[in-house]
Structure 1
Amino acid sequence: MSTLPKVCYEIFVRSFCDSNGDGIGDLNGIASKLDYLHDLGVEALWLTPIHPSSTYHKYDVQDYTAIDPEYGSLDDFRRLLAGVHQRGMKLYMDLVVNHTSVHHPWFEQARLDANSPYRNYYWWMTQDRIDALGVAQREQTADAHEINPWHANPGDPERYYAMFWKGMPDLNYDSEGLREDVYGIVRYWLTEVGVDGFRLDAARHIYPPWLREKNIEFWEEFGQVVRQANPDAYTVGEVWAKAEEVAPYFKGLKANFHFDLSFAIQRIIATGKDAGLVEALMRDYRLFGTHNPDFVDATMLTNHDQVRIGSVADGNLDKMKLAAAMLLTLPGQPYIYYGEEIGMLGRKPDERIREPFLWTDRRDDPDRPRWIKPLYSRRAAVRAVSLQVPDPDSLLNHYKRLIALRKQHPALAQIVRPNLRPALGYDRKIIAYYRTHPTEPVLVIHNISGRTKLIKFGEEESSFNRILFQTQGTPTLSGSRLRLTAYSSIVLGK
């Protein structure tokens, strides 16, 4: 695999930048902001779905090889991709192959004709069969709240399975025809268009619960198809589950998102208490490594389905800086959700955690999408990019410094075979760890409390006496004593 991007960035396309004044973020808008993203230091972009769809979020795909006209054209996408590559960055598409839209031609034919070859592309059962198998209801999961997943097709004795919503019927990968069609879609985007990889939506639900043991086998086969098309292509799975369930997915997928870590950091930011973060991470790494020693741990604070980290922190700038410092000094391949770097806010429902990005403080800023009126990320509550760029103490510049630090120091930049060891360890209001390295190890210390902490170093910690990074103007290091103010961080080298 080619060099892994050290920092990635998730863009909810509709909300990022509007290039044509229709109120909707689009591909040309993203292209116009590539210099901003490159200057921030990110090396890969993940775009949420861009295919034709009837919803604002576009997770119900109607055509896997087309671009939704709201977002632009295939030519626009190719120009965006070229701009990404010219800057040495990579582009990952959101590939939604757990389900389609009810308006996808496959499903339209399947629901009209029980003898259609596309009928077997989806799950169909009579109510008697559903009851006999005991699958009429499903348990709610963190990523899907539907408990009655079988839906009527008027005039049809069979019902179809759609675990997220009746408008998104699940695909049936026991169908060889479906597999070949989906693999053809994968080859098209990797070889004919030239994308660098895929974020794979709902990876743990590719088969329904009564056949969940088939998920891993499918992703192993999928991974082979991807490697044959492009050996350097990247795959990252959305397996919204505990680490024990995530681990086997590394057999087929190069990376998976680390939801346990995301929620652990959120709890720390909300409560100021550590429940053994470093030890839990090291346990997870051992677990992941049993399935693939070269696993890629995709880390994040939040994503487009979670309360924004700014709101977890109740808008507290120091807490937002602490969260950023934790994400960008821990092992893994971090993803920044668009707007985290400027402190965007948002709580459920989903559209409220996907509000428009703030480029300037102008009320009539032409770049700002207007498909939804913001409730949380308003100009009065969030400082726009144009205001943060000239301010050395801004959250945006804090992110830039941390990203540059991560890329500069090999101990922090290491992704594969995570290099992590606990340090200090006697105070649950302090999180401290070594990022090990043969010649340039670093020591990272975070004060997660709302009070200044005086930390006494032992012999090993005392050998780290060079300040590589500090939350601006806060820590003081004198001999074997470190004074760390509330919610601040320091990175030390030898």
Structure 2
Amino acid sequence: MSWSLHLRTAVAAALLTCPALLPAQQLINGYEPKWWKEAVVYQVYPRSFKDNNGDGIGDLPGITSKLDYLQKLGVNVIWLSPHFDSPNADNGYDIRDYEKVMTEFGTMADFDSLLAGVKQRKMRLIIDLVVNHTSDENKWFVESRSSKTNPYRDFYIWRPGHTLPDGTRTPPNNYPSYFSGSAWTLDPKTNEYYLHYFAAKQPDLNWANPKVRHEVYDIMRFWLDKGISGFRMDVIPLISKPTGMPDLTAEQLKAPPNAYANGPHLAEYLQEMNREVLSKYDDMSVGEATGTTLAQTNALVDDRRHELNMIFNFDAIKLGRGDFGPSSLGAWSLPDLKAIYDAHATVLTKHDWDTVFLSNHDNPRVVSTFGDDSTDALRTASAKLLETMILTLRGTPFLYEGDELGMTNYPFKKLSDYDDIAIKNAYKAEVETGKISAEAFLASQAKTTRDNARTPMQWDSSPEGGFTTGNHPWLAVNPNYKTINAAAEDSDPNSVLNYVRALLKLRSGTKAFVYGDYHDLDPKDAHVYAYTRELGPEKYLVVENFTSSPVTYTLPGGVKASTLLLSDYANSKEANTSTLRLAPWESRIYKQ
């Protein structure tokens, strides 16, 4: 071997073994390029996606059977909501065993087959990391509650509470639960209270205990070593509790998440997690950031801090609603929505990365909330428009199962229609105590309940929407499945499904929609959202009519719409003009 060949071989080996010697990643418009920045994520709620064995409950083999559908759609990352062993007090967000698959969903072999199928199709899989709390049936908590001297006692947060002069016991403080009532439950075995921000069957872990943190890191390694590509981290800002956990003030009780989130040791815990686990994998980490303001976002996602890649900020999805417990659907305006995205573009830097979403398993259907589902034509147009916005704004877009079909809210009428523990607990707290009538409560919650997103996926017009071959799905299928379903939309060139496929194909080849600058052309207009995405010489114009009526709109500042690339109306052809005649809920994408 020649000396020069020896040298080239040695240099190549050094580059592979020493990251410091690797050439610096070339920035794109000031951003460091990453696969997860260019991804489109599709959330699968396993219980509702596809039932393979006819028991009425979605499962992992059912998801595997639909991977070709997801590949054809054009998404490249699947987010799997909790699939772990659980007693299902909160549909899997109460985990009994982090390294075991829920029996209803299948086996670990089924998970391995799903992961292999995802990879075979050049996609990636991320899973939920639910570690603010566990199930009360988790072996750690079973031990923790058994005695005050048990080695696992300090895995959870226990307090003696208060004893009044009459002997009555009261909780340690006035913390309310997300699911109504107190966030403390008295456990008779040791006569102390344990903390649970959510249901009583979801005790909060004590992250101040380093043994807890390292158990969590071992769980993360277990799944990453299997080949997943990262985690969506459930309520991750809540893991560090407020110092001393004093009573909330009257002002804090109006928005408890703001008091619970971003405790004094959060950065320490996340940096340790990154150092011990995440930095060793080519992963994607996205935190569900309840209680986190836009101003606090870069403290979690600034890439120089080495914590998380990105977070879900709920300013947009909760527009007109609260971020704590069941809430009514309030009024919102298009300028309000624009202001949120404009603020994100202003506050977040080139070191921060954003997410874009208007739906998930905890929120009502996007088209019923932000669009118009009063007629099929308006539902179709507004569903397309909303997906246009989500897929062309700044940040990694997240779609929820059924969004690509324009699935709508379910017509809930009575309490027995619901499965959600949050609704059932709120009914007890609000209706059964006489604070509100049952009629008013149910009418309000029908528009906002999480169960709207959890009704089974509508695959075809066969019984139960093709979700199951059984007669009793775990939650009723929306009655409109005979007209809104994947099979019908697949064969309809003007369907929401085929439009989203075209939109995803356009986005996949357009870096400007990933790394490009964003500019809102007309922030105050109450009907039309017009903005540009610009990357070097490439510039794109997006125009969206957020009304159920035709609108004639003149682009401000002499801007002219140039080459029309895509519209949610097949007959739209206007180009090379400043004045646009937009149909109801019409969206257009132009190349300038």
TM-score by length of structure 2 reads: 0.76
Counterpart for residue 98 of structure 1: 132
Aligned-pair CA distance for 1:452:
2.1
Residues 440-492 of structure 1: CA deviation (Å, up to 9, x unaligned): 11011111123322233456522x41111112224623533222122111111
Work out the CA distance in 1 between the residues paired with 2:539 and 2:320: 23
Work out the CA distance in 2 between the residues paired with 1:255 and 1:157: 41
Work out the CA distance in 2 between the residues paired with 1:439 and 1:11: 37
Work out the CA distance in 1 between the residues paired with 2:180 and 2:297: 22
Matches within 5 A, 1:416-455: 419-425=517-523, 427-455=525-553
**Which stretch of structure 1 is more off in the superposition, 1-10 or 397-406?**
1-10
Counterpart for residue 372 of structure 1: 474
Work out the CA distance in 2 between the residues paired with 1:490 and 1:481: 13
Aligned-pair CA distance for 1:376:
3.6
Q: Is the 8 Å Cα contact of residues 8 and 44 (structure 1) preserved in structure 2?
A: yes
**Which stretch of structure 1 is more off in the superposition, 105-114 or 221-230?**
221-230
Letter in 2 for 1:227: L
Counterpart for residue 357 of structure 1: 457
Counterpart for residue 495 of structure 2: 394
Asked if 1:136 corresponds to 2:173, the answer is yes
Aligned length: 480
Letter in 2 for 1:401: A
Q: Report SS of the residue matched to 1:262.
A: coil
Residues 99-150 of structure 1: CA deviation (Å, up to 9, x unaligned): 000100000011112111111000001013999x99522256xxx2434111
Work out the CA distance in 2 between the residues paired with 1:271 and 1:42: 32
Work out the CA distance in 2 between the residues paired with 1:135 and 1:476: 65
Q: Is the 8 Å Cα contact of residues 11 and 48 (structure 1) preserved in structure 2?
A: yes
Work out the CA distance in 1 between the residues paired with 2:358 and 2:336: 17
Cα pair distance change 1:377/1:397, threshold 3 Å: farther
Residues 14-34 of structure 1: CA deviation (Å, up to 9, x unaligned): 110111222211111111110
- Picking from 439, 453, 470, the partner of 2:567 is 470
Aligned-pair CA distance for 1:322:
1.9
Letter in 2 for 1:455: Y
Matches within 5 A, 1:65-104: 65-104=99-138
Aligned-pair CA distance for 1:339:
0.8
- Picking from 329, 332, 340, the partner of 1:280 is 340
Q: Report SS of the residue matched to 2:399.
A: strand
Counterpart for residue 227 of structure 1: 278
Counterpart for residue 367 of structure 2: 310
Q: Is the 8 Å Cα contact of residues 43 and 79 (structure 2) preserved in structure 1?
A: yes
Asked if 1:244 corresponds to 2:295, the answer is yes
Residues 61-92 of structure 1: CA deviation (Å, up to 9, x unaligned): 01111111211111111111111111111100
Counterpart for residue 126 of structure 1: 160
Q: Is the 8 Å Cα contact of residues 152 and 158 (structure 1) preserved in structure 2?
A: yes
- Picking from 322, 332, 338, the partner of 2:385 is 322
Work out the CA distance in 1 between the residues paired with 2:161 and 2:171: 10
Unaligned runs of 5+ in 1: none
Work out the CA distance in 2 between the residues paired with 1:465 and 1:310: 29
- Picking from 200, 203, 225, the partner of 1:169 is 203
Q: Report SS of the residue matched to 2:460.
A: coil
Measured on the aligned residues, the alpha-carbon RMSD in Å equals 2.8
Q: Report SS of the residue matched to 1:441.
A: strand
- Picking from 177, 184, 187, the partner of 2:221 is 187
Asked if 1:11 corresponds to 2:44, the answer is yes
Counterpart for residue 96 of structure 2: 62
Q: Report SS of the residue matched to 1:223.
A: helix
Work out the CA distance in 1 between the residues paired with 2:588 and 2:466: 39
Q: Report SS of the residue matched to 1:317.
A: helix
Work out the CA distance in 1 between the residues paired with 2:130 and 2:579: 52
- Picking from 399, 412, 418, the partner of 1:336 is 399
Aligned-pair CA distance for 1:194:
1.2
- Picking from 201, 220, 223, the partner of 2:234 is 201
TM-score by length of structure 1 reads: 0.90
Q: Is the 8 Å Cα contact of residues 310 and 320 (structure 1) preserved in structure 2?
A: yes
Work out the CA distance in 2 between the residues paired with 1:48 and 1:271: 30
Work out the CA distance in 2 between the residues paired with 1:308 and 1:458: 33
Q: Is the 8 Å Cα contact of residues 278 and 433 (structure 1) preserved in structure 2?
A: no
Counterpart for residue 508 of structure 2: 407
Work out the CA distance in 1 between the residues paired with 2:391 and 2:321: 14
Counterpart for residue 298 of structure 1: 355
Aligned-pair CA distance for 1:437:
1.1
Q: Is the 8 Å Cα contact of residues 512 and 534 (structure 2) preserved in structure 1?
A: yes
Q: Is the 8 Å Cα contact of residues 266 and 301 (structure 1) preserved in structure 2?
A: no
Aligned-pair CA distance for 1:45:
0.5
**Which stretch of structure 1 is more off in the superposition, 233-242 or 159-168?**
233-242
Cα pair distance change 1:53/1:323, threshold 3 Å: same
**Which stretch of structure 1 is more off in the superposition, 203-212 or 105-114?**
203-212
Work out the CA distance in 2 between the residues paired with 1:350 and 1:272: 20
Cα pair distance change 1:86/1:375, threshold 3 Å: closer
Q: Percent identity?
A: 30
Q: Is the 8 Å Cα contact of residues 446 and 489 (structure 1) preserved in structure 2?
A: yes
Q: Is the 8 Å Cα contact of residues 475 and 482 (structure 1) preserved in structure 2?
A: no
Q: Is the 8 Å Cα contact of residues 21 and 366 (structure 1) preserved in structure 2?
A: no
Q: Is the 8 Å Cα contact of residues 156 and 205 (structure 2) preserved in structure 1?
A: yes
Asked if 1:113 corresponds to 2:132, the answer is no
Counterpart for residue 39 of structure 1: 72
Q: Is the 8 Å Cα contact of residues 176 and 197 (structure 2) preserved in structure 1?
A: no
Residues 197-228 of structure 1: CA deviation (Å, up to 9, x unaligned): 00000112112344622223212222222334
Counterpart for residue 310 of structure 2: 255
Unaligned runs of 5+ in 2: 1-32, 246-262, 323-328, 374-378, 410-445
Counterpart for residue 269 of structure 2: 218
Work out the CA distance in 2 between the residues paired with 1:239 and 1:349: 20
